């Protein structure tokens, strides 16, 4: 039978329609199958400086500089450890798609852990962008999460993973900071993740995604917060021998080095661990540390490096020597300023293996680069987030009389509750709601970023954290913050800790009349904060440190027996009284 041209045209159109529908259905089915993140890349953020038009990160033609990323150590395919999570910078050449715009895509991600870590940045909104996604687990369960991505040009420097010095545009390079962030969200403990659905959030760009392992089998024994990024020497080819004091002990050990707030990588040529005899002298030969089987490691800007697990018996309540050789020139580094412990700097050369103190001719009173020491086994850690009183200001140097040290000794001496490690994350001068150190660049201010801005790094990312104690606020009040602002900050910390399954404790603020800034008006605000603390339902328990040290006859002042003499910081006796007052059952 003959058909008209019109009939044939209709049939062909119908067939084309069926093929098109089948293709669309197949595409939909493909989208419903979780894909590796790199297969979903649909945006190009990185350009060669000579060809900025090859990328358009934000829709206006601006992009990240490949040269700046390389200078920071963020090279294609590089695995970066940030906040304890391993994330891979995309293995893409400049001008190739290197990130995905979050629009509800299903991403294949596997593993068990305590958090999902996203390497992200936002574009288009100076306040950043946020949205809700879903995690799917192997047993069929699901959990929701909320992810916020700060803006790549205006987001806080205090929480960025790395800041780059330029932004590429078609019209030329701008001397403006570009920011990238690592943001973590909680997972259901113990369940194996099989996929993650990204939020639908305009302007949210995801470069990397991984499950952060929960560090089973490790307990944090010692830690120190990065309080700033300061100029040094410069040091060329020197060896640092840093003295730290363990809380919990164990038969294995690993050491963490942090390049927080840095703009360039730092190279550790070799590192060792030893028990301390006295001064810079080791008790026995220092034992080499390795990093992925290598003697040394380069730590990219803003990242961390964990040493390989080492069979080494770390006694509880003991001094350790962590020695690291810096083969290059180091003009600046992240530090914890108030160590209250003498450490040592060598003459030029790699002296990490020397057991003698002879090469170590200079004294250090800070802890550069060293972030933590973990031991094998144990029940987990208590993290203390605080200011100078927790940092031990005005306590006896080289004596470990900070109140968290005394608390750790109490835990070791009893068998009623687990013998937790105690991690001191106090920073002298720190505040709850305001940054002192701006979070980027070399600075003489070493009072750190705010507790709100450092909470994820200094509490949530700490090894096997079980309980957190928040003991801050006096510096906010002394510098004019109203009570309600401090209370709002404390409430936010409690909520963020509870969202990650931590037990959250809070301590009342000590009296400080007699110190220049502790006026009657400040004391009224302190009383208001303490009243809220004692009556609050946000935290799991209260440590009433104010009641421990105040003078009953003059409650705005500390008891003279506990006062270091500056009326703000307790001395050794006062710090011991704080630690002795803690009901260990609350931990």
CB atoms within 10 A of CB 226: 28
Taking the whole predicted model, whether its pTM rises above 0.85 is answered as yes
Query: What's the rounded Cα separation, in Å, for the pair 235 and 536?
Result: 49
Query: What's the rounded Cα separation, in Å, for the pair 355 and 357?
Result: 7
Residue 349 bridge partners (DSSP): none
CB-count exposure of residue 17 (10 Å: 0-12, 13-18, 19+): exposed
Q: Tell me the domain boundaries of the chain.
A: 37-212
Are 255 and 307 spatial neighbours (Cβ–Cβ below 8 Å)? Answer: yes
Per-residue pLDDT reduced to its tens digit, 252-291: 999 999 999 999 999 999 999 999 999 999 999 999 999 9
Query: What's the rounded Cα separation, in Å, for the pair 481 and 502?
Result: 27
The segments of the chain whose pLDDT lies below 70 read 1-32
State residue 216's pLDDT score: 84
Query: What's the rounded Cα separation, in Å, for the pair 205 and 56?
Result: 12
Kindly provide the b/e burial profile for residues 453-482, where b requires at least 16 CB atoms within 10 angstroms of the residue's own CB: bbbbbbbbbbbbbbbbbbbbbbbbbbeebe
Cα-Cα-Cα-Cα dihedral of 494, 499, 503, 509, to 10°? -10
Residue 465 bridge partners (DSSP): 381
Query: What's the rounded Cα separation, in Å, for the pair 212 and 209?
Result: 10
Residue among 583, 568, 466, 492 at smallest CA distance from 526: 568
DSSP, residue by residue, 286-300: EEEP-BTTBS-EEE-
Q: How far is residue 331 from each of residues 35, 344, 402, 575, measured CA to CA in Å?
A: 44, 17, 30, 36
Residue among 236, 230, 238 at smallest CA distance from 261: 230
Q: What are phi and psi of 478, to 5 degrees?
A: -65, -25
Kindly provide the b/e burial profile for residues 310-335, where b requires at least 16 CB atoms within 10 angstroms of the residue's own CB: bebebebbebbbbbbbbbeebebbbb
State residue 31's pLDDT score: 53
Residue among 305, 249, 232, 376 at smallest CA distance from 82: 305
């Amino acid at each position: 039978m003959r058909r008209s041209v019109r009939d044939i045209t209709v049939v062909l159109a119908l067939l084309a329609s069926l093929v098109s529908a089948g293709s669309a259905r197949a595409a939909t089915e493909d989208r419903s199958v979780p894909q590796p993140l790199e297969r979903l890349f649909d945006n190009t953020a990185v350009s060669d400086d000579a060809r900025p038009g090859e990328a358009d990160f934000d829709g206006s033609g601006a992009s990240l500089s490949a040269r700046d990323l390389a200078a920071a150590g963020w090279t294609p395919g590089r695995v970066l450890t940030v906040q304890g999570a391993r994330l891979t910078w995309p293995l893409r050449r400049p001008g190739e798609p290197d990130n995905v715009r979050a629009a509800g895509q299903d991403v294949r991600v596997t593993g068990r852990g305590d958090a999902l870590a996203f390497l992200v940045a936002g574009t288009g909104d100076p306040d950043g962008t946020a949205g809700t996604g879903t995690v799917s687990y192997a047993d069929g369960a699901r959990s929701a999460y909320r992810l916020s991505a700060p803006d790549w040009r205006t987001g806080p420097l205090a929480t960025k993973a790395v800041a780059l010095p330029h932004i590429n545009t078609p019209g030329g390079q701008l001397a403006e900071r570009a920011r990238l962030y690592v943001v973590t969200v909680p997972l259901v403990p113990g369940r194996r993740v099989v996929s993650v659905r990204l939020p639908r959030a305009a302007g949210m760009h995801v470069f990397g995604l991984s499950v952060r392992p929960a560090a089973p089998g490790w307990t944090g024994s010692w830690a120190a917060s990065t309080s700033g990024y300061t100029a040094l020497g410069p040091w060329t080819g020197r060896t640092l021998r840093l003295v730290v004091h363990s809380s919990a002990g164990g038969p294995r050990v690993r050491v963490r080095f942090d390049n927080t707030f840095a703009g360039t990588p730092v190279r550790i040529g070799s590192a060792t661990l030893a028990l301390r005899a006295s001064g810079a002298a080791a008790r026995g030969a220092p034992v080499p540390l390795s990093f992925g089987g290598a003697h040394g490691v380069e730590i990219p800007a803003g990242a961390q490096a964990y040493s390989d697990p080492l069979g080494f018996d770390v006694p509880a309540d003991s001094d350790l020597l962590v020695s690291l050789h810096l083969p290059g020139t180091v003009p600046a580094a992240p530090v914890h300023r108030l160590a209250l412990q003498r450490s040592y700097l060598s003459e030029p050369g790699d002296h990490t293996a020397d057991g003698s103190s002879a090469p170590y001719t200079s004294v250090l009173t800070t802890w550069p680069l060293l972030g933590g020491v973990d031991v094998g086994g144990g029940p987990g850690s208590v993290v203390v987030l605080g200011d100078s009183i927790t940092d031990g200001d005005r306590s006896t140097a080289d004596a470990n009389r900070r109140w968290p040290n005394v608390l750790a000794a109490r835990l070791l001496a009893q068998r009623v509750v687990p013998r937790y490690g105690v991690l001191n994350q106090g920073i002298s001068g720190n505040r709850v709601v305001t940054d002192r150190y701006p979070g980027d660049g070399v600075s003489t201010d070493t009072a750190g970023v705010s507790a709100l801005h450092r909470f994820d790094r200094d509490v949530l990312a700490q090894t096997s954290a079980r309980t957190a104690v928040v003991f801050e606020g006096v510096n906010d009040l002394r510098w004019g913050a109203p009570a309600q602002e401090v209370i709002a900050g404390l409430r936010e910390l409690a909520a963020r800790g509870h969202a990650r399954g931590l037990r959250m404790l809070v301590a009342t603020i000590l009296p400080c009349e007699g110190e220049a800034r502790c006026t009657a008006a400040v004391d009224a605000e302190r009383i208001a904060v303490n009243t809220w603390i004692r009556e609050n339902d946000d935290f799991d328990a209260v440590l009433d440190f104010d009641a421990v040290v105040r003078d009953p006859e003059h409650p705005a002042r500390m008891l003279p027996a506990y006062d270091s003499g500056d009326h703000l910081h307790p001395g050794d006796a006062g710090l011991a009284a704080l630690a002795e007052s803690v009901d260990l059952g609350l931990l």
